[in-house]
Amino acid sequence: MDYQFKDIEQKWQQFWAQNGTFKAEDKSAKPKYYVLDMFPYPSGAGLHVGHPLGYIASDIFARYKRLKGFNVLHPMGYDSFGLPAEQYAIQTGQHPAVTTEDNIATYRRQLDQIGFSFDWSREVRTSSPDYYKWTQWIFMQLFNSWYNKDANKAESIAKLVAHFEQEGSAGINAVCDEEILSFTAGEWNAMSNPKQQAELLKYRLTYLRESTVNWCPALGTVLANDEVKDGFSERGGYPVEQKKMMQWSMRITAYAERLLQGLDTIDWPEPLKEMQRNWIGKSTGASVKFPVPGSGSEVRGAAHATGNANHATYIEVFTTRVDTIFGVTFLVIAPEHELVATLTTPEQKADIDAYIAVTKKKSELDRMADAKTVSGAFTGSYVLNPLNGEKIQIWIADYVLAGYGTGAVMAVPSGDQRDYLFAKHFNLPIVPILDIQNIETEADPTKEGKYINSDFMNGLDYKAGTAAVIAKLESIGAGKAKINFRMRDAIFGRQRYWGEPVPVYFKEGLPHLIEENHLPLLLPEVDKYLPTESGEPPLGRAEDWSYKSETGGDSASYHYELSTMPGWAGSSWYWYRYMDAKNDKEFASREAIEYWKDVDLYIGGSEHATGHLLYSRFWNKFLKDLDLVVEDEPFKKLINQGMIQGRSSIIYRVVFDDNPNGYPPLLLSKNIYVDFRESVTSEGQPFLNDDLKNIIEQQYGKEIADNIPYSNSRVFIPTRIDVNIVENDILKTEKLGLHLPEFKDAIFVKENGKYYCGHEVEKMSKRYFNVVNPDDIVTRYGADTLRMYEMFLGPLEQSKPWNTNGIEGVFKFLRKFWRMFHNEAWEFSVSNAEPSKAELKSLHKIIRKVEEDVERFSFNTSVSSFMIAVNELTDLKCNNRAILQDMVIILSPYAPHICEELWTLLGNPAGTLSYAPFPKFISSYLIEDEFAYPISINGKMKMNLSISLSLDVKEIEAAVLASADVQKYLDGKAPKKVIVVKGRIVNMVV
RNA sequence: GCUCAGAUGGUGGAACUGGUAGACACGCAGGACUUAAAAUCCUGUUCCCGUAAACGGAGUGCGGGUUCGAUUCCCGCUCUGAGUACCA
């Protein structure tokens, strides 16, 4: 039979499903291997051809590992809470759960027909209550934990309370809010419960605080920083503004250092690690307190006095170049700095107020665009340099950000370019502090040379100077070495419906956890998915959304938290759920976690670099601290698959200004358009030239050619058309009218009888008509062809446009492979003869190549190698069972359906080849006696010469020089030098 | 601006540690089969010079360098893509 991919694929997909072929064992003598894909959000649009790219790669790897004798866990699920289903609910009233269910069904059907080897018995859905029960449970653990800096790990709040009861707040070194009380055990024990709870909230790893959030009025929700792009929401592109709000936050900053260190232990793409490093943004430096004269703090030793908004005693700055402190000539604080009002003198008040007013009006975008212009205002106040008592002006300027460091900087114009420009602009002094510094035209940030103008540091170098200045500052209590992080705590709440409810109720204005046996806290029904009239989140519409106390005869009811968890909650631990997906006692059993441990290979897009991948590492480290999981890092190896972009097809329409008779659209084939577009008149108006007229006349006759409206102002409108009616850039002209009726009677000006389209690479999207659906490819060529073609397209990690142009080649390859097992009459027929040396050589070449390629994720090159092997074996007329059987196993991770079928036809016992042993590479089959040495002269390859590989370097040289062909090139002269690399090359210098 | 990645035929790409640049595939051209088309098969296909072949020359974004030999290493530049942005 001919290659009937449709029947074969259906048959085997059914077989796998019915037999649970890919069900992973939770215990096995085999080594474990966990291959994970980033689970998709099931959107209404279904899968396009770009989505499966990573899944195909991971599936090939999973299947390969099975053949290599591993117990493979390869699961799939859905990140099914999210905005689109909710937006759809708002528009149509359809419950997001229903929409989600429908979308998942579509996804499942599409995934199934590509033939993935997922263990569907472990499917998870983040929106399902038996899943989000455990998301809520983990939230509760975070609420019940604080970060002990001394132990460098999270510990239970109970332990903290015990400490407070015994010893008060002394001896606690925690990552916590800035303003905490200090109290004795007695004071703590005397506090009311609400007071204690309020204090504890400052320590909890998830906590409430008023924070400035990215509020998106159009979406009615708060967005995370990574969901905002240039002041607009990533989804939908609506404007985003800053707003103060009580919000749940996650104390991820507690883990900043560990998140940074952990990067060195995992095998991730370097650019991705770099993004996380930048996001965490560690900088090492010092904080320095500059005393305000007259406040009393300028007296040495008194600089530890606390500052407050009404009475400024000092200004604290953070700097990475504390060694430049003698070059400080002014101080700049952010316009939002809390001391601005206090520091402003009456004479300067007008200036400062005006400046603040201008700053407030500027949006984030303006501020960015304005980066080059210098602006600022003098407060009228001064601070003293803590080391030499010099009086320094305090300015405000919007280049200093309130949210970073302390919102104040010490300006060193000799070393920092921004400070330099500022000093030049406002005529402030510039003092060089290093002997080799050149500051004539710009700042010089050098660390070379010896210090000058620097008191006790004079003559020291950078290293010694920095140490000396920190020691000095510490000794007088005016500063200390400090590490600063850019990363902020993560906001953990959305004012939305379709998310996990937060398992918290409020009593006397303070949050309390519900009892664990009440989990899951189910998402309530609401009449509309919009905020309430009073502006509360949609959960405010739910009837009876309140907690009823069961203890202590307290019959009161307390309302639950109204916001829901953000999109990243459910995805921050899901890989553990796959280990034990049905467990209703634990998020996953200890046993399962100890067996599967972590993800060995994780494949997904780099767009999650600072979102999902950072939060997941954070939660993992937290769970590790609680001894609930066993590994520090969740994803050992990570690969980013590239994005598949769309490739839009474009037709070129000529529009006539003056077209009274409704002349049909005139469409120019691409190269004619290009020529024609370039032949414009001097006024820039295109004109219809004779060449074009001739083409039209040839195709449509003189009458039509003569009747084209000849106005001078014609415009070209490039129009995108459905890529599915274009093949190899040639438009199927007869189909255009069906797709776009306006072109029903269009006149096509063709080249060589064909209409060629132009193309544009851009996002794959419905509005560009460039979406290619995997279903169509599967229907036309089959899943095996789709799988191999997606891999053949190019390196996995590279972004590339989808182009169906080459798919025929892959399809032909599979047919050719099928044909090797069949005779002229398409009957199955293989021989049992001993394989020839040449056949064995081809086979073992491909065994080695595929092993090497798969291990380094170079799937595109192994597809090429398969083609080479099949071409070679076909040339050898190979239909040898021993060879073909091994070929079937090697190819099966890529094209599983056809291989399963051939495996059965080869007479193997009924069942699957998924667990057959991968053929063993035997190097002796590749050993050659001779090698065709490339002979180069002065590095230019001239000819090949076959020489026995048993000869040594001297003998090779002799053999080469003895060759008559070589002598011809040498023209009788002896070469100056001969380089021989055994088994590689011979090069002669003449 | 900074950080990172990349640039190879008409196209997607290959060349893994410096050693025959362009594998494999698409497209294109020519041919076979066919009444014809589709399908299939065969041949050619980096560019330039040459009627053609032999042969010769150039060639991996640009300019230099190291080397017997550079797509690969080093320096400088251009362009493209991604991330980030007044981070003190």
* Each residue's pLDDT tens digit, A927-953: 888 888 888 888 788 888 888 888 888
A317: nt with nearest C1' to CA:
B88
Cβ contact A25 with chain B strand, < 7 A? no
Give the nucleotide with minimal C1' distance to the Cα of A853: B16
Considering the domain architecture, whether residues A717 and A744 belong to the same structural domain is answered as yes
In a domain? residue A798: no
Within-domain flag for A781: no
In a domain, A168, yes or no: yes
Residue A540 Cβ < 7 Å to strand B: no
User: Residue A299's CB: how many other CB atoms inside 10 A?
Assistant: 10
Residue A351 CA to nucleotide B88 C1', Å?
24
A949 touches strand B (CB under 7 A): no
User: Which residue's alpha carbon is at the shortest distance from the C1' of B24?
Assistant: A864
Tell me, yes or no, whether A667 and A760 share the same domain: yes
Q: Is residue A294 domain-shared with residue A396, that is, in the same domain?
A: yes
Question: Is the C-beta of residue A446 closer than 7 Å to nucleic acid chain B?
Answer: no
Burial code of A709-721, b = ≥16 C-beta within 10 A, e = fewer? beeeebeeeebbb
Distance A980 CA to B68 C1' (A): 10
Q: Are residues A951 and A896 in the same domain?
A: no
Is the CB of residue A727 inside 7 Å of nucleic acid strand B?
A: no
* CATH number of the domain bearing residue A966: 3.10.20.590
Q: How far apart are CA A956 and CA A962, in angstroms?
A: 10
Q: Are residues A148 and A188 in the same domain?
A: yes
* The domain boundary residue, chosen from A718, A750, A768: A768
Residue A388: helix, strand or coil by DSSP? coil
Q: Which of residues 318-377 of A touch strand B (CB under 7 A)?
A: 318-321, 334, 367-368, 370-371
Same domain, A377 and A400: yes
CATH number at residue A841: 1.10.730.10
CATH of the domain at A430: 3.90.740.10
Strand B nucleotides within a 7 Å radius of protein CB atoms: 3-5, 11-16, 19-21, 23-29, 40-41, 56-57, 68-70, 81-88
Chain mean position to CA A95: 30
Separation in Å: B45 C1' and A702 CA: 38
What pLDDT, on the 0 to 100 scale, is given for residue A229? 64
Out of A718, A751, A768, pick the residue that ends a domain.
Answer: A768
Q: Tell which residue, A612, A410, A488, has the closest CA to residue A178.
A: A488
- Left, alpha or beta for A645 (phi > 0: left; psi -120 to 50: alpha)? beta
Q: Are residues A186 and A291 in the same domain?
A: no
What's the distance, CA A434 to chain centroid?
43
Relative to beta strand A490-491, strand A504-507 is unpaired
CB atoms within 10 A of CB A627: 9
Instruction: Check whether residue A800 has its CB closer than 7 Å to nucleic acid strand B.
Output: yes
Q: How far is the CA of A597 from the C1' of B86 (A)?
A: 44
Distance CA A925, CA A845 (A): 9
Nucleotide nearest to A320 (CA to C1'): B88
Give the pLDDT score at A922: 92
List the A794 CA – B60 C1' distance (angstroms). Answer: 18
Q: How far apart are CA A501 and CA A275, in angstroms?
A: 31
Query: Which tens digits make up the pLDDT trace of A135-191?
Result: 999 999 999 999 999 999 999 999 999 999 999 999 999 999 888 899 999 999 999
Q: Is residue A101 one of the residues assigned to a domain?
A: no
CA A910 distance to own-chain centroid: 43
Supply the range of the domain harboring residue A937.
928-989
Cis peptide bond upstream of A520, omega within 30: yes
A794 CA, B6 C1': separation in Å? Answer: 14
- Residues contacting residue A184 through CB under 8 Å, at least 6 positions apart: A168, A169, A170
pLDDT of residue A270: 86
Q: What is the dihedral of CA A536, A537, A541, A545, to 10 degrees?
A: -100
Q: Decide: helix, strand or coil at residue A453.
A: coil
Query: Beta-strand (E) ranges in A416-509?
Result: 479-485, 490-491, 504-507
Query: Which of A921, A954, A980 is the last residue in one of the domains?
Result: A921
Q: Is there contact between A842 and strand B, defined as CB under 7 Å from any strand atom?
A: no
User: Is the C-beta of residue A280 closer than 7 Å to nucleic acid chain B?
Assistant: no
* A114 in a structural domain: no
Backbone torsion region of residue A857, taken as left when φ is above 0, otherwise alpha when ψ lies between -120 and 50, otherwise beta: left
CA dist., res. A694 & res. A902, Å (int): 57
For residue A278, say whether its CB is under 7 Å from any atom of strand B.
yes
Total structural domains within chain A: 5
Closest nucleotide to A944: CA versus each C1': B20
* Nearest DNA or RNA nucleotide to A486 (CA to C1'): B87
Rounded CA separation A542/A527 (Å): 8
pLDDT at residue A301, rounded to an integer:
37
Residue reference for tokens 């996001």: A279
Q: How far, in Å, is the CA of A285 from the C1' of nucleotide B88? A: 10
Closest residue (CA to C1') to nucleotide B3 in the complex:
A274
For residue A988, give the nucleotide whose C1' atom is nearest its CA. Answer: B68
Give the integer Cα–Cα distance in Å for A784 and A791. Answer: 11
3-state SS of A829-874 is CCECCCCCHHHHHHHHHHHHHHHHHHHCCCHHHHHHHHHHHHHHHH
Which residue's C-alpha is at the least distance from the C1' of B11? A805
Is the same domain home to A298 and A441? Answer: yes
Quote the pLDDT of residue A159.
95
* Closest-approach nucleotide to residue A321, Cα vs C1': B88
Nucleotide nearest A870 (Cα, C1'): B24
Residue with tokens 């603040």: A356
Contact criterion met (CB below 8 Å) for A51 and A114: no
Length of chain A measured in residues? 990
Whether residues A418 and A527 fall in one domain: no
In A 415-434, which Cβ lie closer than 7 Å to strand B? Answer: 416, 418
Q: How far apart are CA A979 and CA A990, in angstroms?
A: 12
Domain match, A323 and A471 both? yes
Amino acid at A380: G
Q: Is A368 exposed, middle or buried (0-12, 13-18, 19+ CB in 10 A)?
A: exposed
Q: Within 577-616 of chain A, which residues have Cβ less than 7 Å from strand B?
A: 606-607, 609-610
Which residues from the 378-417 window of protein chain A have CB within 7 angstroms of nucleic acid chain B?
398-401, 404-405, 407, 409-410, 416
CB < 7 Å to strand B — which of 190-229 in chain A? 226
A810 CA: nearest nucleotide by C1': B25
Q: How far is the CA of A224 from the C1' of B35 (A)?
A: 70
Strand B close to A799 by CB, under 7 A:
yes
Claim to verify: residue A289 and residue A396 sit in the same structural domain? yes
Q: Are A420 and A332 in contact (CB under 8 A)?
A: no
Q: Which residues in range 461-520 of chain A are in contact with strand B, contact meaning CB within 7 A of any of its atoms?
A: 486
Number of CB atoms found within 10 A of residue A448's CB: 11
Give the nearest nucleotide to A730, CA to C1'. Answer: B27
**Has residue A256 been placed in a domain?**
no
Angstrom distance, A792 CA to B9 C1': 19
Check: CB of residue A985 under 8 Å from CB of residue A945: no
A152-182 per-residue burial string, b: 16 or more CB within 10 A, e: under 16: ebbbebeebeebbeeebbeebebbbeeeeee
Per-residue CB contacts under 7 A with strand B, chain A residues 728-767: 728, 730, 752
Alpha-carbon distance of A291 to A308, in angstroms, equals 13
CA of A593 to C1' of B14 (A): 42
How would you classify residue A230: left for phi > 0, otherwise alpha for psi between -120 and 50, otherwise beta? left
From the alpha carbon of A278, which nucleotide's C1' atom is closest? Answer: B84
Question: Residue A328 phi/psi, 5° resolution?
Answer: -70, 125
Whether the ω angle into residue A217 lies within 30 degrees of 0, i.e. cis, is no
Q: Do A468 and A501 belong together in one domain?
A: no
Distance A48 CA to B3 C1' (A): 32
Interface TM-score (ipTM) > 0.95: no
pLDDT beneath 50: ranges in chain A: 298-309, 365, 681-682
Q: For residue A958, give both structure tokens.
A: 């002799």
What's the pLDDT at A555?
66
Taking the C1' atom of every nucleotide in all shown strands and the CA of A322, the nearest one is: B88
**Residue A93 Cβ < 7 Å to strand B:** no
d(CA A840, CA A485): 60
DSSP A1: -
Residue with token string 């560690």: A282
- Tell whether A158 is covered by a domain: yes
Q: Is residue A460 part of a domain?
A: yes
Name the nt closest to A369 by C-alpha to C1'. Answer: B86
A987 CB neighbours strand B below 7 A: yes
Among A771, A683, A676, A680, which residue's Cα sits nearest to residue A718?
A: A676
> How many of the other CB atoms lie within 10 Å of CB of A104?
18
